Every structure is written in structure tokens, then in C-alpha cells.
Amino acid sequence: MRSYHAPTDDILFSLEHVAGAGDLADWDTELTREVAGHFAQLAEGVIAPTDEEGDIDGCKLVDGRVRMPKGFRGAYAQIVEGGWQGLTAPEAYGGQGISGVVSAAVSEIFSGANHSLQMITGLVPGAISTILAFGSEAQKDKYIPFLAEGVWLSTMCLTEPGSGSDLSSIRTKAVQNGDLWSINGEKIFISGGDQDLTDDTLHLVLARTGETSDGVRGLSLFLCPSVVDDERNSVNVVRIEEKMGLHASPTCQMVFDNAKAELIGEIGQGLIAMFTMMNHARLDVALQGVAHAARATDISRSYAADRIQGKGKNGQPVAIDQHPDVIRMVDEQDALTLGGRAMSHIALVELEKGSNPDLVEFLTPICKAFCSDAGTHAADLSIQVLGGYGYLQEYRAEQNYRDARICSIYEGTNGIHAISLATRLLTYKQGVAADAFARFVEAEAAASKEDHLSDALETWRKARQQICNLENPAAAAHSFLQLTSEVLFQAAWVRIASVADRADNPDRIHRLAQTVKQRSDPTIQFWSRMLN
């Protein structure tokens, strides 16, 4: 079994040199390296050892409460002791005030070490951001310190039976009752809906305050703690879902029965507030996909270097990392990892800068979709590299695949993001987000003088026009998302190649960059043939 090793050097190279985090006003190279290094030690020594045990034991519902796997409480206690839950929270509320870009390094390492535990803890930064943006001063003072200190964890309660991605059909009802509100309804697929790592959980609940006919305009957002005035609130878990992967992350079916809650933000503006949390979560999911791809690459590379099979040109036995097909698969894993990470980091740095929100809006669904699919594909490749051993539990390649697979589904399925890209993002405000993307790729092509990127961009521009002219753009949405993702992937690799000499292993970067440049992408070929 290959123990988890955090790809800290690759992450720091990507952030500082590829994504340009070094240009941020508050960027501190040494601080970032220190933060990432300290968390990597915690991840490798404390968090990762709980991952396999958690996968085997899973979570249990006992007397209406979720019991987490053995070892999780101890690991979480060390996470809290180190102040990691409040990494991005403002210092005024007990946090450390570290930027979201630095936090991205921690998030990827956490996901690679134990995705299930990261799932349970990882919604806190988004909850804090939502309360900071929409909460009253009293709500900020009341809730953020508990979240920052790790005393509470949080959830995001949107999905209901019969209203998965169609939020306009949400039926959970909120009725004002004095200064508080009473929530009644049922929510499903709630990650960490209950757990015994903390005594309280803060549920951010999307509920209806208007009529059903009002659609999403009748939805408001509420803060609903699981404990109110030292008594359990009427928020009950009735089921833990049995899942393909993430066995140690309780995915709960929950019933709210006159549960006490506070309105956050304005009545009827719940979806706007919730998107603050969802957009944070979508970039986090992109990094989860990257983490699985990195883990898959490490498992493959380690195994292939030790597995002796066949003979080389001199007739002597060789490891399979000398076999051309194994080299191909490991290189593909590595390229997907580095490219997906660069794409996500570029979006995060642009988000931190705040000067190009249209570009960030366009990049977010692309990063979520591409990186989540890349994580699953890289995990699948590692099973193939290991052969029969990859199909066994011993090397954990199969768990990596099972845990990665959810990333393409939650926080909006990749099909939904494809439709959003081909419709709303191409037409909103005369296509300002798509224009921002075109300018970004154009600048990368001009700076690098890479004809293949210019050609890909020209194909994308023609495809964009074709999509806009279609009566039903959704029919071509999947293919257009693949094309857009490939263009961004190529642009990211152009950047990576331009700073390869700053990496720890420049030869590896240059070789992979040539492989990516020369690969024959079927999506670009398809669109080129169709448009010419």
C-alpha cells in the first residue's frame, strides 16, 4: 500500500509561478510554504491514516445521531488545535485571516489525505463567507467564532426529494414566528448533516417564504443550528445513504419539524446568498478532483517503479515504468493533474484579485467539470497501471476511484454546468463572460507565440457563434464544454511550460508540455471539421 504523500512542491509551483499568486499584494512565499508544509505533516501523519479505516467502517446512525468512524474524533481535535478550521476567517472573529489562495493549497492536501473528512469540514469557509456577506452584525458575532474555532461545523441544505437541481420546486417551508422562523420540510443528500465531531452543526437551509408559483424568487436562506438554548433543535437525521464511495462522510436525509432558525439576508434573496457558498464549493470540488488525480498518479508511479515485469533491450528484467504503455498512462495522469491544478489556481487568483469577475464566473464551471472528470479518469488509469492489483483493496486505487466519482455529480452535475455554459454564460450581458475568456486565451497565445493555442481559440470562437445561433443550444452543450475545457487546459499548459525552469524537475514539465501540445484532441478535431 502506498502511503499518502502531499504534492506540496507542485502546489506551490502552480500557485506562485503558474497562476501568478506572487503578484497578489498580500502574497508571502515563505508564509505559504510554511502553512502548506505544516498542514502536509498533519495530513500525512494524522489525517491520511484514518482514511482506509473510515472507508471500511463507515458511519452509523445510532439513537438518531451519526457516529463517525474510529479515529476521526482524534484527527479532528488536532485540526481544531492547529486552528485550521478558521484559516480564512477574519482575525476579528477568531480566525487567521489567511487568503483563499493559500487555503486552496490546504484544501487540496486535505482532500488527497482523506476526502471524507475534508467533506465534513470543508463547508465551513463557504458558510463563513456567506455570513460575512449577508449576515447582520449580530449574526456575525454569534456564529462565525464558533465556526472559526472548530466548535461547530456547517452544512448546505438545498436538495429535496423530487427537486434535485430544480430549486424552483423546493417545498420546505419557513414561517416567521416572532424574531425567529419555523422550518418544516425534508432535505436529502446533506453532507455532514449530523456527526459527533462537534456538539452543534450550523445548517444553512434554503426554504420557501413565498408561494410555490414564485419559483426561486420565493426562496430565502436561514441559519438553523442543531442546538438552540442548550436543547436539541427539531432537526432529525432519519437516514444515512449507502454510497459507492466516501463511506466515512455521512450523507444524510433530514427532517425539519418546526425547527428554529434565523433569516440571513433579505426575504426572497436566498438563492443569491446560497450561491456565495456554492461557488466556493465548486472551486473546492475542482481541487478535490485534482487531489484524486494527484493521488492516482502517485500510486501508479510508485507501483510501476517497483513492479518487475518483462525484459528490456539488454535482455535484463525491467520495472513496468519502462514499458511504453505504462509511461503513456502515467504521463496522462500527471498532465491532467498539473493542468487541472493550474486551471483551478488561475481562477482562484483571479477571484482574489477581484478585477475580472466575468472571467472568474466563466472559469468556475469549466474548472469544476474538467477537474472532477480528470480525477475520475486518472483514478481509473491507476487501476489499469496496477492491473489485477488495482482491482484489489490493498493498494487503495479502487477506493480512490470510488471516492473521486462523486465530484462530477455534486455541486451541480457536469451536465448542468455544460448547459449553463452554452446558454446563460454565452448570452448574459451580451456575452461579457465569454468575451473575458476569449481575451484571456488570446493573451496567453500572444505571449507564448504558440500557434496551436491560437488555432484552438479560433475554433472555439466559431463554435461559440454556432452555439449562439442554435435554437436549442443545450443539445450541443456537452461537446461545447469539452471544447472549452480543452482550450483552457491547453492555455494552462502553455503557462506551465513558460515557467518550467522554476519547477523542481524542469525536464518533467518540458516533456509533459510537449505531450500535451502534440496530443490529438478529438473534441477540437470534431469542431474543426464541422465548422470548416
Asked whether the predicted pLDDT for residue 139 surpasses 80, the reply is yes
Per-residue pLDDT tens digits for 5-41? 999 999 999 999 999 999 999 899 999 999 999 999 9
Show the cell assigned to 16. Answer: 506562485
Q: At what angle do helices 397-404 and 49-57 cross, to 10 degrees?
A: 70
173-180 average pLDDT score: 94
Element of type H or E holding 231: strand 231-232
Asked whether the predicted pLDDT for residue 120 surpasses 70, the reply is yes
- The Cα 275–Cα 124 span in angstroms is 14
Asked whether the predicted pLDDT for residue 381 surpasses 70, the reply is yes
Asked whether the predicted pLDDT for residue 1 surpasses 70, the reply is no
Which pLDDT score, from 0 to 100, does residue 165 have?
72
Q: Which residues are catalytic?
A: 411
Which pLDDT score, from 0 to 100, does residue 305 have?
95
Which pLDDT score, from 0 to 100, does residue 310 have?
86
Show the cell assigned to 227. Answer: 442546538
The single-letter DSSP state of residue 527 is H
- The Cα 312–Cα 310 span in angstroms is 7
Asked whether the predicted pLDDT for residue 309 surpasses 80, the reply is yes
Hey, is 154 helix, strand or coil? Answer: strand
Q: How far, CA to CA in Å, does 226 sit from each of 289, 469, 481?
A: 31, 50, 40
More confident residue, 149 or 525: 149
Which pLDDT score, from 0 to 100, does residue 169 have?
84
- Residue of 109, 73, 86, 64 lying closest to 248 (CA atoms): 73
Per-residue pLDDT tens digits for 264-287? 999 999 988 887 777 778 999 999
Query: What are the strands, taking DSSP E only, across 305-347?
Result: 308-311, 317-319
With contact defined as beta carbons under 8 Å apart, do 307 and 390 qualify?
no
Per-residue pLDDT tens digits for 394-424? 999 999 999 999 999 998 999 999 999 999 9
pLDDT band at 214 (very low <50, low <70, confident <90, very high): confident
- The Cα 406–Cα 196 span in angstroms is 23
pLDDT band at 434 (very low <50, low <70, confident <90, very high): very high
- The Cα 219–Cα 211 span in angstroms is 9
User: 152-157 and 200-208 as β-strands: parallel, antiparallel, unpaired?
Assistant: parallel
Share of the chain above pLDDT 70, in %: 99
Per-residue pLDDT tens digits for 216-271? 889 999 999 999 999 999 999 999 999 999 999 999 999 999 999 999 999 999 98
92-106 average pLDDT score: 95
Per-residue pLDDT tens digits for 462-502? 999 999 999 999 999 999 999 999 999 999 999 999 999 99
- The Cα 512–Cα 532 span in angstroms is 30
With contact defined as beta carbons under 8 Å apart, do 158 and 297 qualify?
no
Asked whether the predicted pLDDT for residue 520 surpasses 90, the reply is no
Give the residue carrying C-alpha cell 424552483. 168
- The Cα 528–Cα 532 span in angstroms is 6
- The Cα 230–Cα 243 span in angstroms is 33
CA 349-351-356 angle, 5° bins: 105
Show the cell assigned to 49. Answer: 491514516
With contact defined as beta carbons under 8 Å apart, do 253 and 187 qualify?
yes
More confident residue, 528 or 364: 364
Which pLDDT score, from 0 to 100, does residue 478 have?
96
- The Cα 446–Cα 320 span in angstroms is 40
Which pLDDT score, from 0 to 100, does residue 518 have?
85
Which pLDDT score, from 0 to 100, does residue 2 have?
81
What mean pLDDT, rounded, does the chain reach?
Answer: 94
The single-letter DSSP state of residue 159 is -
Element of type H or E holding 120: helix 115-121
